[in-house]
Structure 1
Amino acid sequence: MKRKISSLDEEEKRVSSLLFNKSKKFTENITPLENDIDIDLKPAWVDEDDQQLTAAIIPKVKSDGLYTQKLKLKYETLIGTPGWAKITKKDDNTDKLMRAVGHLQKTKSSGLNKNNLVVKKCPRINYETGNEGPIISNIEFHPKISVVLVGGKSGVVSLFSIGGDVNTKLHSFKLNSMEVDVAQFNPDGSEVYISSKTCHNYCVYNLAKADVKMVQLPKAIKRAKTFKLSPNGKLLATSDKFDEVFIISAQSKELLRVLKLNSYVRSLAFSHNSDQLYCYCAQGEVTVWDLSMYRSVKKFIDNGCVTATCMALSSCGQLIATGSGEGIVNVYETQNITTREPQPLKTISNLTTRITNLRFNSSTEILSVTSSYIPNAVKLVHIPSYEVFNNFPKQNCNQVETVNFSPHSGYMALGNNKSCAYLYRLKHYKNY
Structure 2
Amino acid sequence: MGFLKLDVVTGNLLKEDSSDSEVENEAKDNLPPSKKPAWVDDEDETEEIVDMTHRYRKDMMKSDAEKKLTKENLQKRLQEQFQRTMGGVPFWAQKDKKKARKSENDDDSDEDDELLRKTGNFVSASETLPRGILQMKNCLDANNERPSDAKLRTVQFHPSAQVVMTAGLDRSISLFQVDGKTNPKIQSIHLESFPVYKAHFSADGEQVIATGTRSKLFYVYDMMSGNIIPVQQIRGMQEKFIRKFEVSPDGSFLLLTGTSGYLHLLAMKTKELIGSMKINGKAVASAFSPDSSKIYTNSVILVLLGKLFTMCSCSGVVNVYTHDVCLRETNPKPVKAIMNLVTAATSLTFNPTTEILAVASSAADDAVKLVHIPSLTVFSNFPVFRRKLIYLAQSMDFSPRSGFFSIGNNKGKALLYRCVLN
TM-score by length of 2: 0.71
1:216, distance to aligned residue in structure 2 (A): 2.4
- Checking the alignment, whether the CA contact within 8 Å between 2:119 and 2:421 is kept in structure 1 is no
The answer on 1:120 being equivalent to 2:163 is no
Q: Is there any run of 5+ residues in structure 2 with no aligned partner, and where?
A: 1-20, 30-103
Greater RCO (Cα-Cα under 8 Å, separation 6 or more) = 2
1:381 aligns with 371
CA separation of 1:114 and 1:74: change in aligned 2, threshold 3 A: closer
1:222 aligns with 240
Alignment of 1:6-405 (within 5 A): 63=105, 65-71=107-113, 73-74=115-116, 110-131=127-148, 133-218=149-234, 219-281=237-299, 308=300, 310-314=301-305, 317-337=306-326, 338-394=328-384, 395-396=387-388, 397-405=390-398
Q: Is there any run of 5+ residues in structure 1 with no aligned partner, and where?
A: 1-54, 82-106, 282-307
Give the whole-Å Cα distance in 2 for the aligned partners of 1:266 and 1:202. Answer: 19
The answer on 1:406 being equivalent to 2:396 is no
Give the whole-Å Cα distance in 2 for the aligned partners of 1:75 and 1:362. Answer: 17
Secondary structure of the 1:343 match is coil
- Checking the alignment, whether the CA contact within 8 Å between 1:119 and 1:425 is kept in structure 2 is yes
Q: One-letter code of the match for 2:163?
A: V
Q: One-letter code of the match for 2:383?
A: P
Give the whole-Å Cα distance in 1 for the aligned partners of 2:109 and 2:291. Answer: 42
Give the whole-Å Cα distance in 2 for the aligned partners of 1:260 and 1:124. Answer: 41
Q: One-letter code of the match for 1:126?
A: N
Give the whole-Å Cα distance in 1 for the aligned partners of 2:118 and 2:231. Answer: 38
- Checking the alignment, whether the CA contact within 8 Å between 1:312 and 1:321 is kept in structure 2 is yes
Q: Over residues 164-214 of structure 1, what are the superposed CA-to-partner deviations in whole Å (9 max), with x where a residue is unaligned?
A: 222100100111121222222122211111112411111111222222111
1:330, distance to aligned residue in structure 2 (A): 0.8
- Checking the alignment, whether the CA contact within 8 Å between 1:206 and 1:212 is kept in structure 2 is yes
Give the whole-Å Cα distance in 2 for the aligned partners of 1:76 and 1:374. Answer: 34
2:414 aligns with 421
CA separation of 1:113 and 1:214: change in aligned 2, threshold 3 A: same
Give the whole-Å Cα distance in 1 for the aligned partners of 2:185 and 2:409. Answer: 19
CA separation of 1:72 and 1:145: change in aligned 2, threshold 3 A: farther
TM-score by length of 1: 0.69
1:159, distance to aligned residue in structure 2 (A): 0.4
Determine what percentage of the aligned residue pairs are the same residue.
33
Secondary structure of the 1:181 match is strand
1:22 aligns with none
Query: Whose Rg is larger?
Result: 1
Q: One-letter code of the match for 2:373?
A: I
- Checking the alignment, whether the CA contact within 8 Å between 1:160 and 1:171 is kept in structure 2 is yes
Q: One-letter code of the match for 1:311?
A: L
Give the whole-Å Cα distance in 2 for the aligned partners of 1:184 and 1:383. Answer: 25
Q: Over residues 101-136 of structure 1, what are the superposed CA-to-partner deviations in whole Å (9 max), with x where a residue is unaligned?
A: xxxxxx9883211110000111011111113x4211
- Checking the alignment, whether the CA contact within 8 Å between 2:156 and 2:396 is kept in structure 1 is no
Give the whole-Å Cα distance in 1 for the aligned partners of 2:178 and 2:118. Answer: 14
Give the whole-Å Cα distance in 1 for the aligned partners of 2:146 and 2:258. Answer: 32
